[in-house]
Structure 1
Amino acid sequence: MTGRLHKESERKREQYLDRAAGTLQDGYSKDKIKDFVRYCWQGWRTKDLKHRKPQAQESYVRTAVDFPFSHNMLLRGESRRQLQFPDLFNISLPNEGPTPCWPMIMIMNNGKTNQFGRLQYMGIMRHQDPLLCTMSQAAFYLFYRWQIVGESPPRFRSRPEWYNFHFFKGSDREKPISYEIQLKWANEVYKAINLSTDKKTHAGRAQGSKQAELEGVEETRSAVLVNGIRMP
């Protein structure tokens, strides 16, 4: 194994491959996150004067929240595709500032790295900058679906009426978005804002953990974040 890794390292040197790939240098800044979200909202209009169909507009708004979900919750693409409405809830956190604090919490018990179905949580709070606020983008996405496109909002009278609805829906709300569609729209925005990454649908998860490390989060705590906040 050691010999194979050494040969691979030598191959990369001989071919002058980017040594920054896969290191702390391989990532993006907060400004790039803002560029990503901004493009999803308005950047494409400068290049496409033809009126986009509602499906394409919805795809941009969906991608504007898919990317922050990945970065701020350190989620794999699969975890986001499997997300359903009953997996989300909020709680009140006291003593978090002068205004009420209601973070959005996601239940995770069926991810790729959670093979034993342990109950895990990931959460986010509001950000003062709307372009960096995952909760704002989530709200805009749902507003677009329910108010602009005219999709019927869930009825919460009984669990069967809404438990099967996916947050990132596919052809209908009881089907998840496919990997191919998720990748297609992410790649379109990456290309438009000149953001290069090998991770594609995992880019936010990788960079989010790196950012935590750079900002001084302890290694053990960062590992917990990457794999989900597990509660007893």
Structure 2
Amino acid sequence: MHSNRKTRRENYVDRGIGTLNDGYNYDEMVSVSLYFFDRATESEMRNRASFLMHHMMMLRGESSRFAEFADLFGMSFPEDEIHSTSFPVFAFHTDFGKILSNGNQSNFATIRHKDFRVCAFGAVAFYLFYRFHISNEKFPEFTKNQDCLHTIHAGRGSGARDAELRGATEDQLQRHGCWNMQSMERHYLMKLSRSSIRAVNGFPTTQGWYWLPRALIEPSESL
């Protein structure tokens, strides 16, 4: 241990790596986000979206580097729509990178942040807008799906995920669908922590408190 410490000192290894100092605070996050935004290039918009997605979704680096459009999807937390503003959820599925030992794949999600300066949801929108409207890249058609086999079991999985998002426990779902736990977790559940998703985006963790004033504004189509 002493030898390792001496070696680290002699090589001027940053002692903050792997400690509580290994990161950034909120103000620094805002500064980094605005740094990318102010440069207003496609690559910097992509970097900003990636930076904020990693923070808000708590992604691993390898999980996002190989992301494709097919890995992104939208959903909602239905119980929050009753007493809240519109509550879209931006989600990301990955089967690349670190897979849990039980074979589960990973789903990550975020919502619109209370502070627009660090909103990953908005950052992705800005990046896509720049890519397809400023750089004029041809927009994908999304008209072909070579693999439709997954729809055979769609009802069973969709029902389980809907019940999960509405607050059903894993034990209740297991009995309802007559699953064993490993199969249910691996193939049917989202495994998203709604409370932490709310918290990291600046909102209370309890249901029904997602209130975002800018969500009430309907942009003109001419914009």
Q: TM-score range by the shorter chain?
A: 0.5 to 0.7
Aligned to 1:67: 51
SS in 2 for 1:104: strand
- The counterpart of 1:11, out of the listed 4, 7, 14, is 7
Equivalent residue runs for 1:1-232 within 5 Å: 5-13=1-9, 17-42=13-38, 44=39, 57-96=41-80, 97-114=83-100, 118-159=104-145
| Segment drifting more, 151-160 vs 27-36 | 151-160
Q: Which whole-Å CA distance do the structure 1 matches of 2:34 and 2:45 have between them?
A: 10
- 1:94 and 1:100 in contact (8 A); partners too: no
Q: TM-score, normalised on structure 2?
A: 0.58
Deviation of the 1:21 alpha carbon? 2.8
Q: RMSD over aligned Cα, in angstroms?
A: 2.8
Unaligned runs of 5+ in 2: 147-198, 201-223
Deviation of the 1:117 alpha carbon? 5.2
Deviation of the 1:16 alpha carbon? 6.4
Q: Which whole-Å CA distance do the structure 2 matches of 1:95 and 1:150 have between them?
A: 39
Sequence identity (%): 35
The 1:137–1:8 alpha-carbon spacing in structure 2 relative to 1, beyond 3 Å, is same
Q: Which whole-Å CA distance do the structure 2 matches of 1:26 and 1:81 have between them?
A: 22
Q: Deviations over 1:63-104 (max 9, x none)?
A: 111111122222222221111111111212123251121211
SS in 2 for 1:159: coil
Supply the AA of the counterpart residue of 1:95: E
Unaligned runs of 5+ in 1: 46-56, 161-210, 213-232
The 1:98–1:60 alpha-carbon spacing in structure 2 relative to 1, beyond 3 Å, is same
The number of residue pairs the alignment matches comes to 148
- 2:113 and 2:119 in contact (8 A); partners too: yes
Q: Which whole-Å CA distance do the structure 2 matches of 1:154 and 1:25 have between them?
A: 42
SS in 1 for 2:121: helix
Structure 1 segments, 4+ long, off by >6 Å, are none
Q: Deviations over 1:129-172 (max 9, x none)?
A: 12211010000000011111111212122125xxxxxxxxxxxx
- 2:99 and 2:106 in contact (8 A); partners too: no
SS in 2 for 1:154: coil
Q: TM-score, normalised on structure 1?
A: 0.56
SS in 2 for 1:155: coil
SS in 1 for 2:23: coil
Q: Which whole-Å CA distance do the structure 2 matches of 1:58 and 1:21 have between them?
A: 31
- 1:110 and 1:117 in contact (8 A); partners too: no
Q: Which has the higher contact order (CA 8 A, sep 6+)?
A: 1
- 2:91 and 2:107 in contact (8 A); partners too: yes
Decide which structure has the larger Cα Rg and report it.
2
Q: Which whole-Å CA distance do the structure 1 matches of 2:101 and 2:130 have between them?
A: 35
- 1:33 and 1:132 in contact (8 A); partners too: yes
